[in-house]
Structure 1
Amino acid sequence: MDDTSNQEAYDRIARIAQEVFDMPVVLITFMDGHRQWFKSHLGTDRRENTPDQSFCRVPIATGKTTVVENALGDDRFCGLNDVVDGPGLRFYAGAPLMTHDGFAVGTLCLFDIKQRSFAPEQVRMLEDLAALVMIQVKSDRDIGRVDPLTRLPNRIQFLLSLQDMVRADPGRTCWIVLVDVIDNRNANDVIGALGIDFYNEQVRHAATILKRHLPGNTVYHVGGAYLAFMLDGAQDTPHALIEQLDTDLREPLVTSRGIPSALNPCFGIRSAGLMEMSSPDVLRTVLSAAREARLSERLFATYNSDHDDAQKRMYSLLSDLPEALRSQKQLYLVYQPRIDVASRRCIAAEALLRWNHPIWGPVSPAELFPLVDKTGLIHEVTDWVMRNVLRQIAAWKAAGIDLTVSFNISSKNLFEDDLVSRLSEVLDATGVDPKRLEIEVVEDMNLDNSHIAFSRLSAIRDLGITVAIDDFGSGYSNLAYLLSLPATTLKIDRSLVAQALTDHNAAVTVPTVIKLGHDLGYHMVAEGVELPETFEQLRQWGCDEVQGYLFGRPMEPKAFESWLAASNKALLASA
């Protein structure tokens, strides 16, 4: 219960009581710790009282309706402030609000400053109205605690049930099982093709099967296509039950629309004691186990604290990233040289984002940014990189260093309506020649045949910025990219380049890609060059530009400037 529940319903019941009993003051009250607060308060502006000064402490303590015809003559109430001083209450009748398990949580009560009598039939009417209040309380509670789709208790009720178990039996342990009914990797396609009702019907079907197998247990709908239940911890691991549930859940079903379907469940399980059950984090842990089962294509996975620690670390990093974006000390850029093969001169650099977390220390981009790419934070991260890259280009230009600098954007950035205008604004603000900026886009199926993404890249090209396809050959490698994406540079992925001297397939693929790229008008760049022999082979194959540890690791701006000066000096000496 709280003050935000359906207020009008409570006021209506209070108005009925006021009219039926012809009472000047009617209250619907609840006891909350050391406070009695008034859900409805007709005839008074007061909103709360202290239990020691309350008439209602008696019906709440006894669980029985209390009628006081003259408070001055009742030893229990004659000393209360409201009796001795203003408003000088004399009459009181209060019916307790009883929960289904026999606890009094508040009252429906009547007050008058006159002495009054109260007949037995009036007592029954007051108790009936109090019962109506509790029906409304249950309705309000169900609105917040029952899922409207399945009519099962929801996530909030699941956590409250765990807390109730802890209070009732602190030494108890239990098995918590979460069922991931539908593979979310396919859920969007299902919803897009057949509608949300089809998806919902599958979840309801799964809930029916679980309730059939668990007649003495509560099944909870804790979100999306996730169902959960609890088993006595004294039992053996619930593997046999899970296998039976899996068998029944996978049975083909025909939906109400006549469409045949079959579920693809997986399960996350864990044993939980007092400390685990009292934590709201417990649900996340079984969800983590279910996701592990899904990714590993197993029927179930048991919660693993090591895996969970990694998840919590990732969550912590994502939670801290907004602050890092505001800070001047955590995020920074490093620059890796890009070398012209013919002259061996550094003609460009790739900007790479780094994060030195105040607690975790250096954070690997491979650890963080694939997840960032799936969140709304990618917008802010890209903006941060964009601004700082262009400021660095301007600073280097002022210092006599004229280089092209590239940085990566996510495919998600290409679906932002204001991406091009933001780029244009920062170019104007820094005064950077657009030709000195290159945008790298990683191969992504989301871009395949996307007119929005292609038009966005064309608009970027129209600003004078060059566009590169990054990591070509890392997995997706759709030839349609090379034929239609408005890019001018093609960067061959390091995984192919590293094997160019040792693997026959790579030794055939790399020169083929270089030739194909040239024939299509691309400037060809090879990433991950670490050996002189690799560089020489790429030179013979006609690659235009290389990047890798052979020439320089990613460096902070000052270190990069020193490296560049030393490199230019060495080239002059060898000329």
Structure 2
Amino acid sequence: MTCHTEAARLDALRKLDLLDTPPSEAFDRITRMAARMFGLPIAAVSLTDSDRQWFKSRVGVEHWSIPREKAPCATVAETDGFLVIPDLLEDPHFCDSPLARSGVRFYAGAPLTTRDGHALGAMCVLGTAPRQITEAERDALSDLAAMVMAQIELQHAMGRIDPISGLPNRNQYLDDMGDLDRDRPAGEARLAMLVHLANPEQLANAGRVMGPSYVDGLVTEAVRSFRAEFGAAGKMYHVAATQFIVVVAPELSLDECRVRLERWLQGRGAWSTSRFVTTPAVGIAPFAVGGTDALDVLRTAQGAVHDAYATGVQVAVYSSSQDAAYQRRFTLLTEFGNAIEAGDQLRLVYQPRIDLATGACLGAEALLRWNHPVLGAVSPGEFMPIVEQTSMARPATAWVVDAALRQLRSWHDAGMPLTLSVNVAAPNLLEADFAQMIAAQLRTHGVAPERLELEITESAAMGNQAAAESTLAALHAVGVRIAIDDFGTGYSSLSYLQSIPAHVVKIDQGFVRGIEGDERKRALVGAMASLSHDLGYRVVAEGVETAGAAALVRAAGCDEAQGWLYARALEPAQFAQWYAGR
């Protein structure tokens, strides 16, 4: 087991609060049954702690625990597998174990496994003489282990009925779905419907203002009305505070489900006192009996609910393509963190910025590239929007700034007096110590602050104005340059733009590409350049791909240009060669 897995297993064991608890007749009855069935003197319900085997129940054993080292039950917990040792003295690993020295020769143990796959220990039987085990005995011991786990769940789960809704809870849903796999024909097509009574923001606002009793009432009235609409056509389970899942009867089709759901939702005026402050949504997940895990049914139905909220509808059916897209997004996010640690997957490439008056290269924009060992090249247009919405934004920007400044220092040492621009994500502007981090990086690499330019979008600056203004002011005090990226595509007000301590405006490439044949674009670029100059900004035109476009943006008043006309994004050595050729 890895350390992480072992830590999770121990956490699962301790959450059940079983260790060092008094004897229980419910467990002792199963242990006595095991000893009788096998005709052996010793049986135990053994739990594997970090350094010991502790017996929740035991027959033929005087002590409550033994050291974990070289205990067969520890091997069962570590492997989550059935273990049989016909003769401990003949086994090279256990021949010198404390059990063998105490006279035990035979051991058989079945794992005690939680729903989440954590092996807590073993249901074991032991004898003082060597012996074999039959398939029937193996099955019997596995059944006894399952009985022990059922008893553990019965004693430590918080019941099976939700006290507010009166519905069976999530544990019962999981059990019943397991029964469905056994009792219904394999492959039978079924439907599950997950109902969210409110989106997270609505729920938080309602709970904050009205208190938990408001949410309780929301659940009670919804369950009552839903039962009236669907009756025996579906079994309901309360799986979260304001969520319930319904396993639909086999005779009810998808179209019939939709009709009933629409009728229930349209009738909210009759049964809902919260219809003006909450928006319910329902996700429908088709599944095949025996072919889909109960938790996966819940997951896919949850995904359909999110699709419903995202598209502004109240009922959505699970989409495999949408699910695949979200799974890939999650994979990319997880793998990106590994990429930062790996050190050989991420790199920067550099696109030149050209002074339109002189044709000189004044600087470059650093652009992040990711080459995954399995997924291959991943587009920044795919992974950066995901990264920027999470806590990964901070380490990602820190990595880029560090790599960019290292390269800039190298170019300066080689006689290339460039300015380098780096993109900054919206969450970076909310970091209280972001300016200090930038200042520390500049000192580490020995780069003058005015040689670093940080690009922010209008939308990022507007996301949290107070925090953004504070961070931008601190960056301005450090001495770095600030550029407003993708100008013209955001939603910021002119008065707020005037307050940003920026030096550069970069006109979005959408206004520049095709400018030769579009008079409106020429007018817009001219207006934006004029406005930017009035506000004291230097103007860069992005996406310049032709000489004609370069001439037009220069005529419109732009100071610099960036685009494929001059160079695509270049590897560091290619950039140095290109620069030397200028």
TM-score norm. by structure 1 comes to 0.72
CA contact (8 A) 2:222 2:272 kept: no
Match of 1:91 in 2: none
Of 241, 248, 251 in structure 2, the residue corresponding to residue 231 of structure 1 is 248
- 1:386 maps to 401
Q: List alignment gaps of at least 5 residues for structure 1.
A: 18-25, 52-84, 87-105, 108-133, 569-575
**Residue 379 of structure 2 aligns to which amino acid in structure 1?**
S
Report how far residue 300 of structure 1 moved: 2.6
Count of residue correspondences: 475
Distance change in 2, residues 1:140/1:279 (3 Å):
closer
Give the root-mean-square deviation of aligned CA atoms.
3.8
Change (3 A) 1:136 1:275: closer
Worse-matched range after superposition: 180-189 or 546-555 = 180-189
Q: 1:298 to 1:512 in 2, by over 3 A?
A: same
Q: Which has the larger displacement, 487-496 or 346-355?
A: 487-496
Query: 1:249 Cα deviation (Å)?
Result: 4.0
- Whether the aligned pair in 1 keeps the contact of 2:45 and 2:58 (CA below 8 Å) is no
- 1:64 match: none
User: What is the deviation of 1:294?
Assistant: 2.6
Q: Does 1:36 align with 2:54?
A: no
Task: Indicate the percent of aligned positions where both proteins have the same amino acid.
Answer: 33
Could you say which residue in structure 1 is the equivalent of 2:195?
179
SS at match of 2:447: coil
Deviation (angstroms), 1:466: 0.7
1:403 CA displacement: 0.9
Instruction: Judge conservation of contact 2:457–2:490 (CA < 8 Å) in 1.
Output: no
Distance 1:190 1:560, change over 3 A: farther
Q: 2: CA distance between counterparts of 1:547 and 1:231?
A: 58
Aligned mate of 1:244, from 241, 263, 266: 263
Contact kept? 1:250, 1:263, Cα under 8 Å? no
Match for residue 352 of structure 1?
367
Give the direction of change, closer, same or farther, for the CA distance of 1:481–1:364 in structure 2 (3 Å limit).
farther
Q: How far 1:252 sits from its partner (Å)? A: 7.6
CA shift, 1:8, in A, is: 9.8
1:490-549 CA distances to partner (integer Å, 9 max, x unpaired)? 111111222544445433322111111111111111111122222111111111111111
Asked whether the equivalents of residues 249 and 263 of structure 1 are also in contact (C-alpha less than 8 Å), the reply is: no
1:220 aligns with: 237
Change (3 A) 1:445 1:394: closer
Shift of 1:355: 0.8
Give 5+ residue unaligned stretches, structure 2.
1-11, 35-42, 47-54, 74-101, 104-121, 124-149
Instruction: Name the residue aligned to 1:486.
Output: 501
1:546 is aligned to 2:565: no
- 1:140 corresponds to 2:149: no
TM superposition shift of 1:293: 2.8
- Listed one character per residue, the Cα deviations across residues 359-405 of structure 1 (whole Å, up to 9, x for unaligned) are 11111112122121121111111111111111111111112112111
2:225 corresponds to which of 198, 209, 214: 209
Which letter maps to 1:36? Answer: V
Matches within 5 A, 1:255-266: 261-266=276-281
What amino acid maps onto 2:552 in structure 1? Q
Q: Which of 283, 304, 308 is the matching residue for 1:268?
A: 283
Q: Secondary structure at the match of 1:261?
A: coil
1:432 paired residue number: 447
Residue equivalent to 1:45: 63
Match of 2:307 in 1: 292
Matched, 1:305 2:320: yes
User: Relative to structure 1, is the Cα distance of residues 290 and 483 closer, same or farther in structure 2, using a 3 angstrom cutoff?
Assistant: same
CA distance in 2, matches of 1:331, 1:224: 42
Partner of residue 540 from structure 2, selected from 510, 513, 525: 525
What is the CA-CA distance between 1:424 and the residue it aligns to? 1.7
C-alpha separation between the residues in 1 aligned to 2:56 and 2:417?
71
Cα displacement (A) at 1:203:
5.0
CA distance in 1 between partners of 2:20 and 2:44 (Å):
23
Superimposed CA distance per residue, residues 120-168 of structure 1 (whole angstroms, 9 cap, x where no aligned partner): xxxxxxxxxxxxxx9996463126x766775655555544432332133
1:203–1:409: structure 2 CA closer, same or farther, 3 Å change rule? farther
Is 1:411 paired with 2:445?
no
Change (3 A) 1:445 1:437: closer
TM-score, normalization by structure 2: 0.72
Tell me the CA shift for residue 440 of structure 1: 0.9
Q: Which amino acid aligns with 1:240?
A: V
Q: In the alignment, residue 198 of structure 2 is paired with which amino acid?
A: I
Per-residue CA distance 1:73-100 (angstroms, 9 max, x = gap): xxxxxxxxxxxx99xxxxxxxxxxxxxx
Contact 1:270/1:302, CA 8 A, preserved across alignment: yes
Paired position in structure 1 for 2:477: 462
In 1, the alpha carbon distance for the partners of 2:168 and 2:380 equals 40
1:7/1:203 CA distance change after superposition, 3 Å: same
**CA–CA separation in structure 1 for the residues paired with 2:453 and 2:337:** 26
When Rg is computed on C-alpha atoms for both structures, the one with the higher figure is 1
Sort the Cα spacing of 1:372 and 1:212 in 2 relative to 1 into closer, same or farther, 3 A: farther
1-structure distance, mates of 2:537, 2:164: 54
Name the CA distance, whole Å, in 2 between partners of 1:248 and 1:386: 56
Return the offset for 1:463: 1.0
Matched, 1:368 2:368: no
Aligned to 2:273: 254
- The one-letter code sitting in structure 2 at the alignment partner of 1:433 is A
Q: Could you say if the C-alpha distance between residues 338 and 199 of structure 1 is closer, same or farther in structure 2, counting changes exceeding 3 Å?
A: farther
Aligned counterpart for 2:577 among listed residues 549, 553, 562:
562
Higher mean displacement: 342-351 or 496-505: 496-505
- Once the two structures are overlaid, the 10-residue window that deviates more, 195-204 or 290-299, is 195-204
Output the CA distance in 1 between the equivalents of 2:455 and 2:23: 64
The equivalent residue for 2:108 is: none
- Per-residue CA distance 1:25-59 (angstroms, 9 max, x = gap): x9586799x963454789953369999xxxxxxxx
Q: Which of 183, 186, 209 is matched with 1:168 structurally?
A: 183
More off after superposition, 157-166 vs 421-430? 157-166
For residues 438 and 203 of structure 1, the distance between their equivalents in structure 2, rounded to whole angstroms, comes to 53
Give the match for residue 78 of structure 2. none
CA distance in 1, matches of 2:260, 2:218: 20
Distance 2:400 2:64 in 1: 56
CA separation of 1:247 and 1:558: change in aligned 2, threshold 3 A: same
Q: Secondary structure at the match of 1:480?
A: helix
Q: Distance in 1 between matches of 2:531 and 2:388?
A: 30
- Kept in 2, the 8 Å contact 1:251–1:262? The answer is no
The equivalent residue for 1:537 is 552
Distance 1:220 1:385, change over 3 A: farther
Q: How does 1:46-125 map to 2 (within 5 A)?
A: 46=64
Q: Distance in 2 between matches of 1:241 and 1:9?
A: 52
Q: Tell me, in whole angstroms, the C-alpha distance in 2 between the residues paired with 1:320 and 1:422.
A: 25
Question: For residue 127 of structure 1, what is the aligned residue in structure 2?
Answer: none
Distance 1:478 1:199 in 2: 39
Kept after mapping to 2: 8 A contact 1:445/1:476: no
User: For residues 187 and 481 of structure 1, do their structure 2 counterparts lie closer, same or farther at Cα, with a shift above 3 Å needed?
Assistant: farther
**CA distance in structure 1 between the partners assigned to 2:404 and 2:208 by the alignment:** 39
2:208 and 2:259 map into 1 onto residues whose CA distance is 35
**Deviation of 1:447 (Å):** 3.0
